[in-house]
Structure 1
C-alpha cells in the first residue's frame, strides 16, 4: 500500500490566512461571496511555498501599456493609477509578511509587446511604459515587486520576431479557441469584454461602426491567443507561482482575479483610465473624458498625473450608477 503524507496543519492554516487577505480584492463577476476553502488550486500553490519556508510568489500578467484612446487616458506613460496599483500590491505583500515571516512578492508580467500590433500601440511607447514601471518601483522602494517582460526572455530581437516566436510556440489554434468561446460562458464573457475594449480603444477608425466591430471581434481572438501564449511562457519561467489575473475569474478557477483599485465595473484597469480623487480622499478609476468633468487635472514631475474632484463621493456614485 503506497505511503501518503498528511497535510501539514500549520502550512494549511497559514495558506488559508493568506487567501483570506486576498479575498476582499477578488475580481469576479460571481455574486455570492466565497471563503478561502473554495480556492483549492491557490491553496495548493501557497502551501508549497509555506511548507518550504519561502516567500510566496505571485505572477500578474498586465500593466502592458496605456490605451491608445486619448479620451480614456492621460498619455502613454504610467501615472497615478499605476502608482496606486503598484503601492496596493506592495501593501498586500507586506500584509502577508505580517502573518508569514518569509512574506510574498509579485512578479508583474508586463505584456504590452505581446499584443502591441493587435491593440495599435507603438513598440517604443510600450518600452517607455515598461521602463517607467521599473523606475516607479525603484523610486517608491516597492521591494516586493518586480517586472518581467519579453525582453527578459528574447533580449533585443525585433519585436515582431518576439511576438511570432511566442505565438508559434505557445498559442492555441484559432479553431480550438473559437470552439472554446462557443462552449464556455466565461470564455464568451472574456471574448466580449476584450472586443469591447478594442472598440473603445480604436480612436482613428475611418469605416462604419459595424465594420469596426467586425475587425475588433477578429482581433479579440488574436489577443486571447497571445494571452494564452504569454500565460504558458510565464508558467514555464515561474512554474510554482500563484497566478493572479486582472480579468474577472470565477470562484475556484486556476487564476485568481484581483482588483487593483475602485472602478465602476470589473473590467476597468489603470491603463484604460485615469484616477480621480474625491474630496474625501478616495480614488476611483474612470475614462479621462469623464474625470475631466468631475475634477481638475493635477501634474506631477511635469506630467499629467490624475484628477482632483470637487464633487462629493455621492456625485461620483451617481455617475457610476
Structure 2
C-alpha cells in the first residue's frame, strides 16, 4: 500500500487522499530506476547524510560511533534518491500526545513552544539539505499516538486534539518541508476522505485492532526480543523510565498499591508498548518502504537514525515529555515543568491564550516580587524555597557511592545531635572525622569549612536528571559566614 503524506500548507488542515496540481499534498513515489552510482552520487549522498547526522541524538559517549555503524545502509537509501534526482524522503514516527504527567512534566494536552522548536529543527534540516541538493528533502511525521494512548490512560480525543493542533502549528509557522501521516494511512479501514474528530475517536479502537491483526505477531516472545535485540532492550528501558514517571500521578502508590506492584505493572505496560511497537514498525516499513527511517528512540544506529528533536544541554529531547525555557543569555533549555517552577526567576509565557514556555527574568528575585512560577511553586506540596538562601538550598544532582551516602548520613545525624552546637573546633582538612565538624552557628571561617565538608561528600561529579539527588540545607548560618563562603 502506497501511503499519502500531507504537506503543510496555509489551507485549513484536512485529511485528504487526493493529490492536487498545486502540490498541496504529496505522494510517496516509487523510486525511479536507479542510474549507475558514480562518485558524484556518493559524494552528494554523503554530504546529505552528514547534515542529517548533525541533528541526530548526541547525548551519549558513543553516539558518533553508532551513527557511523549505520552509514553504509543509510548512504544506500539516500543514494537512491540522489541517483534519480528525486527529493530525499524521510519518515519519523513521533509526536504522539502530551505526557500523562501534567502535574510535573508538561503544561497541558496541546503542543506548545517545545513542539514548535522541534518542528522548526526538522524543517531547518530539510532546508539545509536543499541548499546542497536541488530536489530538496521532506520529513513525514507519522503520528503514533493512537497506537499507545489507551495504555497510558490518554483519551482518544486528547490524541486527536494534539495531532490537529500540531498540524495547525506547522501550517501557521510555514514549515513547508514537514508533512503528516496517521495510522489510518497504514491500515485498510473504510473511512471518509476527510477525517474529523468524531469519526477518528469512534474508530480509534478499530485502528489499533486492524494494526495488530495486519502487522502483529501472535507468537512473539517479547522477553526474548528484549534479551537478544539491543534496539528492543534500549527502547524497553526508555519506556519503563517514562512510564514510571508519567503514571505515578494517575496510579499513585498507596490504597492497596505498593511500590513494587506499581513497578511490576509499569514493566507490563512497557512490554505491551513494545508488542504494539513491533506491529507499528512493520506497518511503517510497509507504508514507507523507500524512506530514510528516523527515530526518537536510542538505538544501535544500524537500522534507523536516532534524532534529537530538542538540541539542549539536558537529556530531555522529546517535546511531549517536557517544557522549554528561554534563558537570559538567549539559550533554550528543556526540563520538566516542575523543575522550572522551582526557579523564582522563571516566568511562564503565554501564547494563543495558553502557557507555552518559560522565560528567565533577570533581576526579578527580590523577596517582595514573586513571579507566576514562584507563586505556583509556593502552592505545591514540596515547596522549600527561602528568599535569602535560594541557591544554597537548591538540590545538587550527584552520583553518590555507598561510602558517600554513609558519610552524608553521619553528617546529618551529627547536625541533629547536642554535641553539634557545643563543638567549637576548627576543621583543618576536608577529610576530617565527624567529631571535628565545627559549630554551624559560629561566624568564623569554620562555617565555610563545615559547608565544604558537606559539599565534598555530596558533589561527587554531577550526574544526569535520572541520577540520585542529595541536598543540604542550613537555615542558621550567620550573615558573616555566608559572606565568607561566597568569597571562598
User: Match of 2:325, SS?
Assistant: strand
Q: Which consecutive residues of structure 2, in runs of 5 or more, have no partner in the other structure?
A: 1-34, 192-198, 364-390, 398-461, 464-488
Q: Distance in 2 between matches of 1:238 and 1:185?
A: 24
The question of whether the paired residues in 1 share the 8 Å contact of 2:231 and 2:298 is answered with no
Corresponding residue for residue 278 of structure 1: 327
Corresponding residue for residue 205 of structure 1: 251
User: Match of 1:158, SS?
Assistant: helix
1:53 pairs with 2:53: no
Matches within 5 A, 1:242-253: 242-251=292-301, 253=302
> Which has the larger Rg?
2
Structure 1 residue 183, shift from structure 2 partner = 2.0
| Range with bigger deviation, 97-106 or 180-189 | 180-189
Q: Distance in 2 between matches of 1:52 and 1:82?
A: 33
Structure 1 residue 311, shift from structure 2 partner = 7.4
Q: Which has the higher contact order (CA 8 A, sep 6+)?
A: 1
Q: CA separation of 1:32/1:74 partners in 2, compared to 1, >3 Å: closer, same or farther?
A: closer
The question of whether the paired residues in 2 share the 8 Å contact of 1:26 and 1:259 is answered with yes
What TM-score, normalized to structure 2? 0.60
Q: Which consecutive residues of structure 1, in runs of 5 or more, have no partner in the other structure?
A: none
Corresponding residue for residue 101 of structure 1: 134
User: Match of 1:143, SS?
Assistant: coil
| Range with bigger deviation, 294-303 or 90-99 | 294-303
Q: CA separation of 1:264/1:214 partners in 2, compared to 1, >3 Å: closer, same or farther?
A: farther
The question of whether the paired residues in 2 share the 8 Å contact of 1:19 and 1:36 is answered with no
Q: Which of residues 101, 105, 125 in structure 1 aligns to 2:158?
A: 125
What TM-score, normalized to structure 1? 0.90
Q: Distance in 1 between matches of 2:145 and 2:69?
A: 34
User: Match of 1:33, SS?
Assistant: helix
For each residue in 1:208-248, what CA deviation from the matched residue of structure 2 results, as whole angstroms up to 9, or x when unmatched?
22111111111111111212212211222211000000111
Structure 1 residue 26, shift from structure 2 partner = 2.1
Q: Distance in 2 between matches of 1:146 and 1:106?
A: 6
Structure 1 residue 78, shift from structure 2 partner = 0.4
User: Match of 2:89, SS?
Assistant: strand
Corresponding residue for residue 24 of structure 1: 54
Structure 1 residue 186, shift from structure 2 partner = 3.6
Corresponding residue for residue 236 of structure 2: 191
Structure 1 residue 187, shift from structure 2 partner = 2.4
The question of whether the paired residues in 1 share the 8 Å contact of 2:37 and 2:83 is answered with no
Q: CA separation of 1:304/1:267 partners in 2, compared to 1, >3 Å: closer, same or farther?
A: closer
